[in-house]
């Protein structure tokens, strides 16, 4: 999109000069770390990951949300990282095939642990939600999207409600992210973890 930092497309590229950027943002923000990448990718050096966590700890007025599909690497490195209260860690769980990532997340000393179930590609009837604070669910968007079944979402919602876990329904999905809206059973579900709800 004309940004020279993306001249290599989605090839893994480290931008070390950007690590300190949050320290210059004085107004508190909620920051989704690596929204187009994965901080725990196998090719990201551990020293780079550690530096990112140090910056997040120093920028204590922001809330950082880190999401990964590399749950095993997250678990392997977790004890060597700085886990400040403003750093939330999540894993992606798109289908039953990836529920083992939740066990890895439970081993991480993060103040808030969350699941990103987006895009939801199948039913998840037996989520183990012990130690999980927040679940985000959403359908797939874009050309050729695979719509989720309403009962899949209802079941996840009911599991969250029963376990006392915050539930956030982000979108039904469709050709565009907002195409299907985000109403479920006549209401918007946008519960947040207690730590964030108290701050807003």
Is 143 contained in some domain? yes
Write the CA distances from 81 to 46, 49, 51, 63, integer angstroms.
Answer: 9, 8, 9, 17
Q: What pLDDT is recorded for position 84? A: 98
Is 2 contained in some domain? no
Q: Which residues pair with 64 in a beta bridge?
A: 31, 87
Is 50 contained in some domain? yes
Is 56 contained in some domain? yes
Is 150 contained in some domain? yes
Is 153 contained in some domain? yes
* 40, two tokens: 């725990």
pLDDT tens track, the chain, 200 positions: 577 777 777 788 898 989 999 999 999 999 999 888 999 999 999 999 999 999 999 999 999 999 999 999 999 999 999 999 999 999 999 999 999 999 999 999 999 999 999 999 999 999 999 999 999 999 999 999 999 999 999 999 999 999 999 999 999 999 998 899 999 999 999 999 986 544 44
| Residue range of the domain that includes 66 | 29-197
Is 152 contained in some domain? yes
Q: What pLDDT is recorded for position 200? A: 44
Is 174 contained in some domain? yes
Write the CA distances from 159 to 39, 72, 155, 185, 186, integer angstroms.
Answer: 29, 25, 6, 16, 19
Q: How many domains are there within the chain? A: 1
Q: What pLDDT is recorded for position 195? A: 66
E strands, the chain, where?
30-33, 63-68, 87-92, 112-117, 134-138, 166-171, 183-184, 187-188
């Amino acid at each position: 999109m004309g940004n020279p930092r993306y001249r290599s497309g989605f090839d893994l590229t480290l931008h070390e000069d950007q690590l300190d950027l949050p320290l210059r943002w004085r107004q508190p923000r909620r920051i989704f770390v690596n929204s187009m990448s994965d901080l725990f990718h196998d090719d990201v050096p551990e020293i780079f990951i550690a530096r990112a966590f140090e910056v997040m700890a120093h920028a204590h007025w922001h809330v950082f949300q880190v999401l990964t599909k590399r749950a095993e690497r997250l678990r392997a490195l977790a004890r060597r990282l700085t886990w400040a209260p403003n750093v939330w860690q999540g894993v992606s769980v798109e289908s039953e095939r990836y529920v083992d990532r939740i066990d890895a997340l439970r081993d991480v000393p993060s103040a808030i642990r969350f699941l990103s179930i987006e895009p939801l590609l199948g039913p998840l009837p037996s989520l183990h939600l012990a130690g999980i604070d927040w679940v985000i669910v959403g359908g797939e968007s874009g050309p050729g999207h695979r719509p989720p079944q309403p009962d899949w979402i209802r079941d996840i919602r009911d599991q969250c409600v029963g376990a006392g876990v915050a539930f956030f329904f982000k979108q039904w999905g469709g050709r565009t992210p907002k195409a299907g809206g985000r109403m479920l059973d006549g209401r918007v579900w946008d519960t947040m973890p207690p730590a964030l709800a108290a701050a807003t």
